Copies of this chain bind each other. A is one copy, B any other.
Amino acid sequence: MSLDDAATKPHDRLARQFAPKMEAVNALIRARMASEHAPRIPEVTAHLVEAGGKRLRPMLTLAAAAICGYEGDHDERLAATVEFIHTATLLHDDVVDESGQRRGRPTANLLWDNKSSVLVGDYLFSRSFQLMVETGSLRVLDILANASATIAEGEVLQLTASRDIATTEATYLQVVRGKTAALFSAATEVGGVIAGASDEVTGALYDYGDALGIAFQIADDLLDFQGDSAKTGKNVGDDFRERKLTLPLIKAIAKADETERAFWRRTIEKGAQGEGDLDHAIALLHKHRALEETLADAQGWAARAQAALAKLPAHPVRDMLGDLSDYVVARVS
C-alpha cells in the first residue's frame, strides 16, 4: 500500500479500482431506467440515481466477483440490479417515513408526489428482476428474491415496533438485517455465485455482507448522538427527535429506573419533547455506558466481517473490503 493509498478512504479506493466497471454499471442503470411510455419514470429515478449516492452496494458485488476471479460482465448487471433494488426501497421508504429530504436534497415524494414514488419504485423493482433474469442464474434470483422479502419484512417490523420502548435488541437486529444487511449480504453473495465460487466462499461472502451491513447501521445510530453534522449531513439528535428506538436507546432503556422509564415514555412513546430533553437523553446514554456498549457491538460485527474475509482467496480487493469494515467502525470510535 502506497502512502497515498493509506490516506484514502477504503470506499474511494474501491471506486478507483472499479472505475471502468462502474462506468458500465452507471450506463446500464441509465439505459434501464428509461421508459418508452412514461417519461415521469426516468425523471423521478434520475433525481435519485444522479444524486450522488456512494454506490457502495454495487461496488460490493463487483468486489466479490473480482475476489472470486470472475471475468465476464454479469457482475455489472447484478451491480445495477442491487442499485435498482436499493433505489426502489429508498423511494418507498421516503413515502413510509414521510421524509422531505435525502442526501441534502428534497425527496421524490416531495418534488412529485407519493403516488409517483410508489409506482416508480415498483417499476425499478420489476426492472431489477429483468436484469437478474438476463444473468440466467436461478440461484441469483433466489438470493435476491429472498433479500427483497427480508427487506420488506424488516420495514413492516420497524413500522409496528416503532416508538415502542419495549423493543428488544433481538427485534432491533431483525429490523437492521431487513433495512440494511439483507441487501449488503445479497450483493456480496451474488458476486461469488456469478463467479461460480464454492459454497464455502459464497457463504463467507454472505457473512461478510451481513456483518458489514449490521456494523454500518449500528455505527450510523451512534453517529446520531456523537457525529459532526458538517461531515455526516445529519444533525445530532435527529433520531431522538424522530423518536427512533436505535441501539443506544434500547441499551439505556433496558437499564432505566422508574424515573428514567417515565422520561423515555414521554419523549419516545408520547413524543412530548421539550428543551433540554436531548441533553438529558445523552446524559442517560453516558450514565448507562450505552454508547460504549453500542460501539463494542459495532466492533464485534466488524470483527465478524474480518473473520469471514479470512475464508476468501487472497486478493488485493479482499484487503480493501477488510479496510472498509474497519473504517465503518473507526469513524465512530
Cβ B92 vs Cβ A155 within 8 A: no
State the CA gap A129–B114 with chains docked (Å): 25
- Map CB proximity to B onto A133-173 as digits: 1 under 8 Å, 0 otherwise: 10010100110011011011111110110000000000000
Cβ B153 vs Cβ A35 within 8 A: yes
The copy count of this chain in the complex is 2
The minimal Cβ–Cβ distance linking A97 to chain B, given in whole angstroms, is 8
Cβ A156 vs Cβ B95 within 8 A: no
| Contact residues in B for A156 (Cβ distance below 8 Å) | 35, 38, 40-41, 116, 119-120, 123
The minimal Cβ–Cβ distance linking A169 to chain B, given in whole angstroms, is 14
State whether the Cβ of A273 lies closer than 8 Å to any Cβ in chain B: no
Our pick among B37, B95, B96, B148 for the contact of A129 (Cβ within 8 Å) is B148
Cβ A149 vs Cβ B174 within 8 A: no
Number of residues of chain A lying within 8 A (CB) of chain B: 44
A140 nearest in chain B by CB position: B133
Our pick among B37, B125, B127, B133 for the contact of A141 (Cβ within 8 Å) is B133
Known contacts: A126-B145, A160-B40. The answer to whether A118 contacts B133 by CB under 8 A is: no
State the CA gap A141–B135 with chains docked (Å): 12
| Contact residues in B for A138 (Cβ distance below 8 Å) | 133, 136, 138
Cβ B123 vs Cβ A96 within 8 A: no
State the CA gap A147–B122 with chains docked (Å): 12
State the CA gap A35–B142 with chains docked (Å): 18
State the CA gap A28–B59 with chains docked (Å): 37
State the CA gap A105–B114 with chains docked (Å): 24
Cβ B35 vs Cβ A122 within 8 A: no
Our pick among B38, B114, B127, B141 for the contact of A95 (Cβ within 8 Å) is B114
Nearest 4 Cβ contacts at the A-B interface: A123-B152, A126-B148, A126-B149, A129-B145
Beyond the given pairs A92-B119, A125-B125, 9 more chain A to chain B contacts, judged by CB atoms under 8 angstroms and listed by A's residue number, are A38-B153, A39-B160, A89-B122, A92-B122, A114-B114, A122-B152, A126-B152, A130-B149, A133-B141
